[in-house]
Amino acid sequence: MRLSTSTNIMVFDQKRPRQVTLEASAIACAKAGYKYVDANLCTACRADEPLTQDNWEEWAHNLRKTADDNGVTFAQAHAYWTVGQAFNPDMSRTDGEWGEELMRRSVLTAQILGTRWMVVHPYSVYQGQAWYRYHESFAYNREYFKRWGEFYADHNVGMAIENMARSPQKVPYCARGEELLELIDAIDNPMVQICIDTGHAHLSGINPAEMIRLVGSHLKATHIADNHQNTDEHYAPFNGTIDWADVMKALKEINYQEDFSFEIHNLTSMYPKQLQQKLVDFSYELGTYLVNMQLED
């Protein structure tokens, strides 16, 4: 199991998003001691960000050079995903061909970066505004990720489908581990597996450790964060109510060998960016403590 963190650990400046570049974040992570970093490419796909520009391939190669020069590896990444309403009334995607292009650029960038597993979000077809339609959601994701899974595999990038977060206002598809397992079984591609977001599981009223045990060897990526089961707070472990000893025990029980990757931007987001390095340093100490935690049998 390799300690990692998302580049979004430094992305805010006093709660203003997208104020720190992926390059600057990767350098800060390297200074803290990280050898592995999760490239948050979904941020790079937003308006006026690098993957929306004509020179996106040059940017990707420069990002790889930054990583190499600073001794870090982008073993994990996060792909493009749609913000807001995903579907039009006729079930066409709101992001259309541009969304397809941004997913393509995400995969090719991940290939340039040498990424082993890139996380994707499943899509929910909703009944009204709150509950998802199971059969329609399953059918859409099966076909969508079967098609993209082949493209990922052709470019030597694994796809990890993430569990989504249930809230009092919305019940999404793939909040449950059983649905993730059913989906990857239907896709039937060894390069399409699972990411567990501990914060999403906890927010959905599911014990993250039990979800880890349920998916077992299909777990290939993680998003590690804590919360109080009210909102997706993206807090560092021990700032919420997750049982971290049980999470670490579950990861060791399944012999998890991939990235233990923080997604904890709210450790730093409220502070001026000039002050955030010490918090990134602390996150490395925290992660080291967790992956080396001595657990009782």
Q: Name the DSSP letter for residue 19.
A: -
> Residues 23-34: what's their mean pLDDT?
98
Q: Residue 147: what pLDDT?
A: 98
Q: What is the pLDDT of residue 195?
A: 98
Q: Please give the pLDDT value at position 229.
A: 95
pLDDT of 129 higher than 60: yes
- For 69, residues 6+ apart whose C-beta sits below 8 A from its C-beta are none
pLDDT, one tens digit per residue, over 271-292 is 999 999 999 999 999 999 999 9
H/E segment holding residue 77? strand 73-78
pLDDT of residue 154: 98
Per-residue pLDDT, 122: 98
What pLDDT is attached to residue 130?
83
Per-residue pLDDT tens over the stretch 181-237: 999 999 999 999 999 999 999 999 999 999 999 999 999 999 999 999 999 999 999
What is the structure's pLDDT at 296?
A: 66
Contact criterion met (CB below 8 Å) for 26 and 72: yes
**What pLDDT score does 5 carry?**
98
- Count the Cβ atoms, other than its own, within 10 Å of residue 176: 18
If pLDDT is split at 50, 70 and 90, which confidence band does 9 have? very high
- pLDDT of residue 238 exceeding 90: yes
In the predicted model, what is the mean pLDDT of residues 46-63?
97
Task: pLDDT band for 149, please (50, 70, 90 cuts).
Answer: very high
Give the gyration radius of the chain's Cα atoms.
18
Q: How confident is the model at residue 167 (pLDDT cuts 50, 70, 90)?
A: confident
Torsion region of 91: left, alpha or beta (phi above 0 gives left; psi -120 to 50 gives alpha) = left
Amino acid at 125: V
| Band of pLDDT at residue 52, cut at 50, 70 and 90 | very high
Rounded alpha-carbon distances, angstroms, from residue 251 to 61, 200, 224, 289: 33, 17, 12, 15
What whole-number percentage of the chain has pLDDT above 70?
99
Task: Name the helix (H) or strand (E) containing 40.
Answer: strand 36-40
Q: Which domains does the chain have, with CATH numbers?
A: 2-291 (3.20.20.150)
In the predicted model, what is the mean pLDDT of the chain? 96
Give the residue among 245, 239, 252, 241 at the shortest CA–CA distance from 279: 239
CA distance 100 to 151: 12
Whether residue 297 is predicted with pLDDT greater than 70 in this model: the reply is: no
- Which whole number is the average pLDDT over 73-100? 94
Contact 200, 165 (CB under 8 A): yes
- C-beta of residue 185 within 8 angstroms of C-beta of residue 194: no
CB atoms closer than 10 angstroms to residue 57: 14
